[in-house]
Structure 1
Amino acid sequence: MIDLFLYNWQVREDWFVWCESLAEEELFVKRTGGMESLFQNLVHVVDCELLWINHLIQEPVVYAGREEIRTLEDIRAYSEFTKTVTKPVIDGWNGELEDQIVHITGRNGYVRSFTYGKIIRHLISHEIHHIGQLSIWAREIGRKPVSSDLIIRDY
């Protein structure tokens, strides 16, 4: 499971590199589905990782520059910051954490309970889902998407 997490980080970095070759305006073009742009999809993936990891470590970690994310380099910096928060959770992962429960109070006051394992699997599948959207959009603009082939990657 942790391998898939590291795989996602590697693919995310490849998408950052891929996006460097685009005209900046292309990052912000409104598209169908997802978070409606390449830029917002990437920000959303990082936002969700930090949100859910905050629940697992049970302390709010806030990225001071979150409101100033306006460029690809800003997203990369946000991603790197988030990895520093996530990495200790990933590095410390063990069988005991899999079934540990965290209780989360939603905006409506309703409390939901999830296992740590379910949250980690959600983060993995969530990122894969949004990376798939980036791949579709890449093809729509006539570009080859980043390879997401797990079997050939070393992570």
Structure 2
Amino acid sequence: MEINFLALLTAALSTLFVGFVWYHPKVFGTIWMKEAGITEEKMKGSNMALTFGMAVVYAFFIAFILQFLTIHQFGASGMIGGEVETAKPSYAAFMADYGTVFRTFKHGMLHGFFSGLFFALPVIGTNALFERRSWKYTLIAGGFWVVCCMIMGGIICAWI
């Protein structure tokens, strides 16, 4: 299977839109800033272009891995261990029968949810424990990544 970098970039950029809503002061922004110990003055003194740029780069890394977690057909591609042209005829037959099975936005969101819940949230939670962050911080930051993984998974699974 080929990697669709446009789909991965779109999925990565979707995190900016989710973040715009999620961290809006009327949603979780005010609580998150309080729990993170961040003030508006401190935010204004940062290089936001660099911050948003690196956020997209990191989200792209997440999107890259999510394609393998949301698209079952990548498992079949991994089994042949090389180029599709050198695969046995059984691979072509398998892909002809199952090449588009479970390739929907909804199915990608399901796998994205599990990825966010069982990978992203525990990573955020572990860091929050050692940083002595509150459970509110953990749920806001971890919940953000669960939602992002769901949307990213949906985009990736439906598009690639």
TM-score, structure 1 as length reference = 0.31
Of structures 1 and 2, the larger Rg is shown by 2
Structure number having the greater strand percentage:
1
Structure number having the greater helix percentage:
2
